[in-house]
Structure 1
Amino acid sequence: MKAVVCQAWGVPDTLTVQELPDPQPGPGQVVIDVQAAGVNFPDVLIVQGKYQFKPELPFVPGSEVAGVIRSVADDVTTFKAGDKVIAFTPTGGFGQQLLAPAQALIPMPPGMNFEMAAAITLTYGTSYHAIVDRAKLENGENMLILGAAGGVGLAAIEIGKALGARIIACASTDEKLEVCRQHGADVLINYSKEDLREAVKAATGGKGPDVIYDPVGGDYAEPAFRSIAWGGRYLVVGFANGEIPKLPLNLTLLKGASLVGVFWGEFTKRNPKGNLSNMRQLLQWLQEGKIKPLISGRYKLEEAAQALNDMAARKVTGKVVVVPQ
């Protein structure tokens, strides 16, 4: 099989496409013919050795896939060859085949295409865990989303709307904000043109947002936190900006607010049943049309490095996928 291989920590351009032996399932494992693999910002950090999780070199990047089971181990009874499945694994997604534990699989709902299935696991799983489990967003509350046109941002918009919240979407261009509007955002703020604190104040009648969803970090974190409502919850989701902000902790006291960490990958390990329950809810919403991942780009296996570069440069709106076959 062909796969993208990371042989040393570095920028995406150092990745190579190689011919590797076809994987064989061991106890509890299956082999999947990968039809689509989601591309995520953590993939950019992982190949550079900058993520919380560091796989052993060499490895195949990519963590979320959708495909068809090629073969199963003798002790696997929950799936069989030919089943269409979604899988989330630490590595291995950017290849024509993936070796995965059967317990990491979710059956694909009837009628779902592979690209859509490969786009829901990490972004929607992260956003659902953040908004429902960690922030406990309630109907009628205001939620401010930074970097709202990215994969997790658009997922957060749709999940927030499904829960009955009022969504304030922030992004760096009017074009990105239009995408946010199409996905349900109620208020749009272009923080490259507007003063963020003043715009948020106007959007909330001076009250401030009850929940702030921040996958970006950087310069906008502090003005966003200063705008939060009394008793608000600030979700620390990631640092796509590349800069980890330093917030004055007295703000939490003055606002009676909470800084809430979101580490979905660790949550899936510690509470797999809870994560499976979340994914079932998301798949139900998908079938009901309440959420709909935006697939804005498709890359061949040989173009995986470009996909990661586009992700790093924040050129991606919604989700992009690698199509390995």
Structure 2
Amino acid sequence: MQQIKIKQYGNAQEAFAFEEQEKPVPIDSQLLIQVEGFGLNYADVMARNGLYKDAPKIPFVPGYEVVGKVIQCGKGTPPDFIGERVVAFTRFGGYAEQAVGDFRAARIIGDRISGGEACALATQYCTAYYMTDYISNLHEGETALIHACAGGVGTALSQLCRRKGVTVIGLCGSEEKVAFLEAMGVDFIINYKKNNYKKLIENRLGKRKIDYIFNTVAGNSFKEDMKLLNYGGKIYCFGGAARSGKKDHILNDLAFLLKTGFVSPLFMMMKSHGVIGVNMLRIADNHTAVIGKCLGELHQLWLQGEIKPVVGATFQASQIGEAHQLLESGKSMGKIYVYW
């Protein structure tokens, strides 16, 4: 079988290598999947640039989720998975024609849903659902601010918030994305490259009126967000896009930390604030069944028509460099899907 490895850090057109490899052997609780396709995530870009600390050392096969048919089960895996089409969380290794994943972080999906939509459920929607439904209980009439609202997690958050009656403020970086978010029904859209989003929000809503903030950027935006957060509000931090684009160096890491700033639990207590870090890789490692639970509930929401993942671009596996370039450019919208 073929797999795609990151052989060196840096440019997307030079970083990858296609290799022939023996098929993996599923161990306890694992499924072996004949892969139709896999999804891209921004963590893949960070890993390719040597900035993702949880990634294995190069060379390694990236990829968090796959869709395909189960061809073999490891010990302790329910046999009814055999022959079924599934979407599965893979914890690296997804850029391959065959991949393994824990059955507890997989769901049988049938043939109705497209590969791109299914892969969006596995990582982007699971990340969003974990924040909006699993560890939180959002209420009608509240307000949420979503960074990178036109991206994969952003579109998922928007749909999941709006289905609960939460007003959505979406940040994006181009007029094309403004139009995209308008079509999605986002309530208040701000092109942060043209406007100071904090001032616009305060002018429209007043000070400290945001109940939930979903921040995938960190850096200076975190400090601005804390000034917008309502009493009793929560900010979810699940990415560090502001760190991207700079070389892996301790000084760049320190500068990023200083820009993001630090919070004191005493000041948080005074405003009844919550700052919640979300790392789905850690959840998958230590609470594997949580991924499966979120996946199962998201699939039901898809079947009921309550959510509709947006697949913004589809590439052949041979175009992996182009797919990565699009995601890294910040111009993509929705999920990027790659198929064999």
State the partner residue of 1:154.
Answer: 155
- 1:278 is matched by which residue type in structure 2? C
- 1:143–1:58 distance in 2 versus 1, CA, 3 Å: same
- For 1:299 and 1:210, the matched residues in 2 are separated by 38
**Which has the larger helix fraction?**
2
Residue by residue over 1:29-78, the C-alpha shift from the partner in whole angstroms, topping out at 9 and shown as x without a partner, is 33211112010001112233322413254321111011112233475433
Which whole-Å CA distance do the structure 1 matches of 2:178 and 2:166 have between them?
Answer: 18
The amino acid across from 2:286 in the alignment is R
Q: Which residue of 2 aligns with 1:141?
A: 142
- My pick for the range that moved more, 34-43 or 1-10, is 1-10
* Distance 1:259-1:81 versus aligned 2 partners, 3 A rule: closer
**Partners of 2:273 and 2:82 in 1: how far apart?**
50
- C-alpha RMSD over aligned residues: 2.3
After superposition, what is the alpha-carbon deviation per residue over 1:73-129, rounded to whole angstroms, capped at 9, x for unaligned?
Answer: 475433344210111011111111113333332111452122211121111111111
Instruction: Provide the residue aligned with 1:227 in structure 2.
Output: 228
Could you tell me which residue of structure 1 aligns to residue 253 of structure 2?
Answer: none
In the alignment, is the contact (CA less than 8 A) between 1:196 and 1:224 conserved in 2?
A: no
Alpha-carbon shift at residue 140 of structure 1 (Å): 1.4
Q: Residue 249 of structure 1 aligns with which residue? A: 263
- Residues 52 and 178 of structure 1: is their aligned pair in 2 closer, same or farther, counting only changes over 3 Å? same
Alpha-carbon shift at residue 227 of structure 1 (Å): 1.7
> Contact 1:230–1:255 at 8 Å: present in 2 too?
yes
State the 1:275 CA deviation. 3.1
Question: Residue in 2 aligned with 1:5?
Answer: 5
SS in 2 for 1:124: helix
CA-CA distance at 1:170 after TM superposition: 1.0
For 1:241, what is the secondary structure of its paired residue?
A: helix
Alignment partners' CA distance in 1, 2:292 and 2:73 = 21
Compute the TM-score of the two structures, normalised by the length of structure 1: 0.90
2:339 equivalent in structure 1: 323
Q: Is the 8 A contact 2:85 2:111 kept in 1?
A: no
Classify 1:139/1:96 alpha carbon distance in 2 versus 1 (closer, same or farther; 3 Å): same
Q: Within 1, Cα distance between the matches of 2:272 and 2:212?
A: 13
- The corresponding residue for 1:44 is 45
After superposition, the C-alpha distances for 1:253-304 in whole angstroms (9 at most, x for unaligned) are 6744222211222123332333332222211111122211111111111211
1:72–1:79 Cα contact (<8 Å) kept: no
Count of aligned residue pairs for this structure pair: 324
**Structure 2 unaligned blocks of 5 or more:** 244-255
Closer, same or farther: CA 263–196 of 1 in aligned 2, 3 Å: same
Cross-structure match for 2:287: 271
Q: Is the 8 A contact 1:37 1:94 kept in 2?
A: yes
1:258 partner amino acid = G
Which range moved further: 251-260 or 29-38? 251-260
- When residues 271 and 294 of structure 1 are mapped into structure 2, their CA distance, relative to the original with a 3 A threshold, is same
Given that residues 135 and 235 in structure 1 are in contact (C-alpha distance below 8 angstroms), is that contact kept between their aligned partners in structure 2?
A: no
Q: Measure, in 2, the Cα distance between the counterparts of 1:80 and 1:128.
A: 24
The equivalent of 2:71 in structure 1 is: 70
Secondary structure at the counterpart of residue 167 of structure 1: strand
Q: Which moved more, 1:31-40 or 1:234-243?
A: 234-243
- Residue 2 and residue 296 in structure 1: after superposition, are their counterparts in 2 closer, same or farther (change >3 A)? same
Out of 298, 302, 308, the residue aligned to residue 286 of structure 1 is: 302
TM-score norm. by structure 2 comes to 0.87
Q: 1:223–1:73: structure 2 CA closer, same or farther, 3 Å change rule? A: closer
Deviations 1:164-209 (A, max 9, x none): 2111111111211222222231111111122212211133244421
- Contact 1:109–1:283 under 8 Å retained in 2: no
Letter of the 2:209 counterpart: G
Between the two proteins, what is the percent identity of the paired residues? 25
In 1, distance between residues paired with 2:74 and 2:262?
53
Partner secondary structure for residue 274 of structure 1: helix
User: SS at the partner of 1:79?
Assistant: helix
SS at match of 1:123: helix
Whole-angstrom CA distance in 2 between matches of 1:265 and 1:220: 24
The residue type equivalent to 1:305 in the other structure is G
Matched, 1:298 2:314: yes
